[in-house]
Amino acid sequence: MNARTVLVILPGKRGNVLAAVSILGLLCAGFCGCAPDHRMSFATFLQESASPPPAVETGAGLEPSDINLLLGPYKVGPSDVLSVTLNRSNQEEILPILSTRVDRDGAIDLPMVGAVSVANMELEDIEDAIRSAYVPSVYNDLVVHAELLSVDPTNVLVVGAVTEPGLVPLRRTERNLLFAIVQAGGVSADASGYATVKRLRSPGESEIFNLRDPVQLQQALSAGPLASGDIVEVHAAQPNTVFVGGLVYRPGAQNYPPGIEITILQALAAAGGVRTDVFPTEGTLVRRASDGEDKHVRLDLTRLATGEDRNIALMPGDILWIPETWETRVQSFINQNLFFRAGVSVNYNVSGIEYMNRHGQQSRRTGGAGLQDAYDPFGFLGQNTALQGIQANTAP
């Protein structure tokens, strides 16, 4: 039989009160321990989180004109095939439609005028160059229309968090990270914003870019052109999962869609709240830093609940733990082993009846009668026991 300790406090019985205080003091001393608290304060954590990240050498940025050149219309080059139509102003066709390939020197060969340089020109500029070659030396007026029929593609493999992963063809002036991702259908909903370029001809080297950072996006555009066989990997975002455990009603992992922010109090609410039988007042936030080390942050739940401390958003992978303390251990011990009786307001622990009626142990103090007869003359405990038996028998 596992008898529980019974603490009885009677009004006016100073000795009992002192005994109760002494027992609670011993419990506190036993549960408190002397282990140091290595957690950082919440204020220090907020201050470190607000500090700007260390400066990163990014090199010279691109001028606006350079960006316009990189992202502007396509410019033809060697191996591109053009269709050229020559008409007079009155729409009279002078020559049949010509198909001509740009040679390795960046020129096309046309009847009566020979080579015309078109290297790195847009189609509109090519039409002006052809017109200048014919007018006025050959014709007095001329209408020129040029169209790009085919290009010599660069095939790049795009994998990861994109809509259409696979081998994508890139035109000559579009062999960069941005155009490769666009050709693969763009990033998917679970993309993190980071992408890695792995070059086939330099297998030991890779470049990582944050596409949400304008400076790093400039770097990606100004990097050397992609070549056939290069690999672009778009990283998926880390699963948006936070872990809540300890003195809560529903501990476990909480999964949310990427991009959704969950605060400390929201995560606790989703875990059913903190336990109310032991009244925890502090928590621990565990967050993995960029250097791989875990930061342990001490949280004051009372200050968070009252708005005195900021209810910050959790990050994917964070652990929110409501630990046991000496206070919660004492409360748990009292809940499991003690009951209090004061005046007419009585809370009875029915499991103590057998202990109270053990005549042999209590005969010296009660004259042979059980403690139940001495301290429960109206039979409240017996009635409570019977009532519990009825409820147990009638329960569905």
Residue 287 neighbours by CB under 8 Å, 6+ apart: 294, 295, 297, 315, 317, 318, 319
Comparing 378 with 110, the larger pLDDT belongs to: 110
For residue 111, give the 3-state DSSP assignment: coil
Answer whether 141's CB lies under 8 Å from 89's CB.
Answer: yes
Alpha-carbon gap, residue 232 to 132, rounded angstroms:
42
Residue 3 has pLDDT above 90, yes or no: no
Alpha-carbon gap, residue 188 to 161, rounded angstroms:
5
Rounded to 10°, the helix 326-337/14-32 angle is: 130
Residue with tokens 């304060």: 41
- What is the domain range of residue 305? 39-47+240-324
Task: Give mean pLDDT, residues 87-102.
Answer: 79
pLDDT for 92 equals: 67
Rounded to 10°, the helix 64-71/214-222 angle is: 60
* Pair (230, 249) in one structural domain: no
pLDDT for 292 equals: 83
Tally of domains in the chain = 4
Task: Write down the pTM of the prediction.
Answer: 0.52
Residue 328 neighbours by CB under 8 Å, 6+ apart: 247, 278, 279, 280
Alpha-carbon gap, residue 190 to 223, rounded angstroms:
26
Answer whether 234's CB lies under 8 Å from 240's CB.
Answer: no
pLDDT for 336 equals: 77
In this structure, what DSSP letter does residue 351 have?
A: G
- The answer as to whether 54 is a domain residue is no
Over residues 224-267, the pLDDT tens digits come to 899 999 999 999 887 889 999 999 999 999 998 877 889 999 99
* Pair (248, 224) in one structural domain: no
Residue 22 has pLDDT above 80, yes or no: no
Tokens describing residue 52: 């700007």
Confidence of residue 356 (pLDDT cuts 50, 70, 90): very low
Confidence of residue 1 (pLDDT cuts 50, 70, 90): very low
Residue 42 neighbours by CB under 8 Å, 6+ apart: 297, 298, 299, 300, 309
The enclosing H or E element of 26 equals helix 14-32
Residue where a domain stops, chosen among 301, 324, 347? 324
Residue where a domain stops, chosen among 284, 301, 324? 324
* Pair (225, 188) in one structural domain: yes
* Pair (218, 173) in one structural domain: yes
- Residue 389's Cβ-side half-sphere holds a number of Cα atoms within 13 Å equal to 7
Alpha-carbon gap, residue 254 to 245, rounded angstroms:
11
CATH number for the domain harbouring residue 108: 3.30.1950.10
- The answer as to whether 245 is a domain residue is yes
Q: Which amino acid is at 377?
A: P
User: What does the mean pLDDT of the chain come to?
Assistant: 77
Query: Please, what sign has the CA dihedral across residues 107, 108, 109, 110?
Result: negative
Residue where a domain stops, chosen among 292, 324, 356? 324
For the chain, the straight-line distance linking the first and the last C-alpha, in angstroms and rounded, comes to 29
* Pair (181, 225) in one structural domain: yes
Residue 55 has pLDDT above 70, yes or no: no
CATH number for the domain harbouring residue 280: 3.10.560.10
Strand-pairing partners, residue 241, are: 255
Residue 333 has pLDDT above 90, yes or no: no
Phi, psi of 243 (to 5 degrees): -120, 130
- The answer as to whether 251 is a domain residue is yes
